Structure 1
Amino acid sequence: MRIAMWSGPRNLSTAMMYAFGNRADFAVWDEPFYAAYLKQTGSDHPMAAEIIAAHEADPAKVAARCIGSIPDEKPHFYMKHMPHHMIDGMPLDWAAACENIHLIRHPARVIASYAAKREQVTALDLGFKQQVDMFDKIGGVVIDSSDIRADPEEMLNLLCDVIGLDFDPAMLSWQAGPRDADGIWAKHWYNAVHQSTGFAGAEGPLPELTGRDAELLAETLPYYEQLEKEKI
């Protein structure tokens, strides 16, 4: 089985990659198209030059690897993807060979978390519209990160059942620290998950946003609500 897990940033996506990566039967790949996205857009992301230098930046080669031999001869392959990396011209035909899962999180939480890591934030950076567009193109399963945090075992059991995969309790915990599969960008973005040994508990009240952050919330909330209606 090949899983393409689609999500925006600050969305439990790295913890989910660690959960699947903790299974003995899965290889994982961290944001395969990130370097290609940065090279083609010139987007001013933290560590952009390092990312392009360290990771494959040819989208055709990345796409071929998505459906090529699974690393370490594992039976299953988990790929952590971001819809906003798939700009016009990026190959997407490989996704037909995958179980496509769309991981969502309320934009108020995403905006508050993302703004702590990057000063200039736009709706395009958050990827909510692109995620809806991706879901419309390829379909798949929708799951909410808040539901996972509230009851990881129940929701991961449900997700595995929906996609026809046996649940493995190894998904519920992992050792603290970085992973070999982390992208080079991990040192900027993954501090919190590197300190974790499992999924964090249920989230509290939504953060109150003001100014530009509140405007971003108004712009992105309708897209989240559209996908929320589809969640398992």
Structure 2
Amino acid sequence: MYSFAQRLDVKVMDEPFYAYYLIYSQLEHPGKEEILKTLEPDPVKVFGQIQEQEQTFNNVFVKNMGHHLQGFDYSPIKHYQNVFLIRDPGQMLLSYAKVREEPTLNDIGLKQQAELFTWLQAEGQNPLVLDGNELRKNPEHVLQQLCDGLGLPFNQAMLNWPAGPRAEDGCWAPFWYAKVHQSTKFMAPDTDSSPLPNSLRATYEAALPYYTTLKQYALLA
């Protein structure tokens, strides 16, 4: 999201279906009360908000979570260009557990991503897939491939951004975006080989097949 936000021809939106997801799932997330006050909870109206942005900007980049798309008719996404950002599930779980303890398979969204990917393929799409580690190995090369796939000219501005928050950040940013607020570019892939705690092993094993399925389609560094 921060990368695409550097483009003058793109408007970014941060997880616009989050309020609906919290109501639907009844989960307790950090900042839930503020999220419900801030975001539109009706997914039909959220799609309308996206369309409003499309009338002003050439391109709208919607950063979304796969597991936010459940319990309503999300079929309008088949009319968009869809990009799936994936990450090694062990890395995801270690990161997520810093904010919410003992994350489940549904929390990290890989299963839903794989299901959405398969559904979009059946609808005739060939969605693009970014693996976080491949992207961080060679950001320029991978972003060039991504832009080619989206029919956009690559822009060098996508490689850097100013440190700190953005106006488009969701109100949950203080809980989740500390590292990205410290960053100014894509950093090298994580080299931490710390073993997963036993409490996360079962979730990791459940998530791995979905990650493996999507990874075979990922753009390579």
TM superposition score category, shorter chain reference: over 0.9
What are structure 2's unaligned runs of at least 5 residues?
122-126
Asked if 2 retains the 8 angstrom alpha-carbon contact of 1:108 and 1:206, the reply is no
SS in 1 for 2:82: strand
1:60 to 2:44 alignment: yes
Q: What's the C-alpha RMSD, in Å, of the aligned pairs?
A: 1.4
Q: How far 1:205 sits from its partner (Å)?
A: 5.0
The correspondence of residues 1-40 of structure 1 with structure 2, limited to 5 A, is 17-40=1-24
TM-score, normalised by the number of residues in structure 2: 0.92
Asked if 1 retains the 8 angstrom alpha-carbon contact of 2:11 and 2:53, the reply is no
Counterparts of 1:158 and 1:26, CA distance in 2: 17
Q: How far 1:119 sits from its partner (Å)?
A: 1.4
Counterpart amino acid of residue 171 in structure 1: M
Counterpart amino acid of residue 161 in structure 1: D
| Aligned residue number for residue 178 of structure 2 | 191
Aligned residues between the structures: 214
**Moved >3 Å (runs of 4+):** none
Bigger shift: residues 115-124 or 100-109: 115-124
Counterpart amino acid of residue 118 in structure 2: D
1:102 to 2:84 alignment: yes
TM-score, normalised by the number of residues in structure 1: 0.88
Counterpart amino acid of residue 46 in structure 1: P
Asked if 2 retains the 8 angstrom alpha-carbon contact of 1:112 and 1:207, the reply is no
- The Cα offsets for residues 146-203 of structure 1, whole Å up to 9 and x where unpaired, read as 0111110111011111221100000000101100000000011101101111111132
What are structure 1's unaligned runs of at least 5 residues?
1-16
Counterpart amino acid of residue 110 in structure 1: M
Asked if 1 retains the 8 angstrom alpha-carbon contact of 2:85 and 2:132, the reply is yes
Q: 1:135 aligns with which of 117, 121, 134?
A: 117
Q: 1:50 aligns with which of 28, 31, 34?
A: 34
| Aligned residue number for residue 152 of structure 1 | 139
Counterpart amino acid of residue 60 in structure 2: F
1:80 to 2:63 alignment: yes
Counterpart amino acid of residue 104 in structure 1: I
Asked if 2 retains the 8 angstrom alpha-carbon contact of 1:67 and 1:97, the reply is no
Q: How far 1:99 sits from its partner (Å)?
A: 0.8
